[in-house]
Amino acid sequence: MAPLWHRCALALLGGLLVAGCAAADPEHTAEPGNSVTAPDAPAALVVEVRIAGGQVTPADQRFDAKVGQPVEIVVDSDAEDELHVHAAPQHTFAVTPGAGQRFRFSVDVPGRVEVELHHADRTVVTLLVRA
Ligand SMILES: [Cu+2]
């Protein structure tokens, strides 16, 4: 009786362990939420942009970035505008009045990438993207 109980417990334990491992894998690979699967993918570059009373900050601030690095533009605005990322492919985001609007993208091609506000007619950020 004891050996039988022992075997069942082991099988149960083994089953739990296998289930645990199987469940952990897809969770892990889906974690970053983008197509970059390199284990040492760089952390997101976060840039805060403020539009208030027709004034825009920053003004053409330079940042270094890497190909595939997530870039997040966080916008506080009192006006509607259009955020335009001059990358290939380009990205256009609609800015509305409000705080903490998050626009996320990554750049696939190395080079200079200007991020503009079309209505304010300002370049807020230039990304220097390296391979
Ligand atoms: Cu533009």
Domain ranges of the chain: 1-31, 45-130
Q: Rounded to the nearest whole angstrom, what is the distance from the C-alpha of residue 99 to the centroid of ligand 1?
A: 22
Mean pLDDT calculated for residue range 101-130? 97
Q: Rounded to the nearest whole angstrom, what is the distance from the C-alpha of residue 126 to the centroid of ligand 1?
A: 12
Q: Which helix (H) or strand (E) covers residue 73, if one does? A: strand 71-77
For residue 76 the two structure tokens come to 């506080």
At residue 99, does pLDDT exceed 90?
yes
Q: Rounded to the nearest whole angstrom, what is the distance from the C-alpha of residue 40 to the centroid of ligand 1?
A: 31
Smallest Cα–Cα separation from 91: which of 125, 56, 55?
125
> What pLDDT digit, counting tens, does each position of 64-94 carry?
999 999 999 999 999 999 999 999 889 999 9
Q: Rounded to the nearest whole angstrom, what is the distance from the C-alpha of residue 20 to the centroid of ligand 1?
A: 48
Residue type, 67: V
User: Into which CATH architecture does domain 45-130 fall?
Assistant: Sandwich (2.60)
> What pLDDT digit, counting tens, does each position of 3-30 carry?
554 443 444 444 433 333 333 344 344 4
pLDDT-derived band at 1 (thresholds 50, 70, 90) equals low
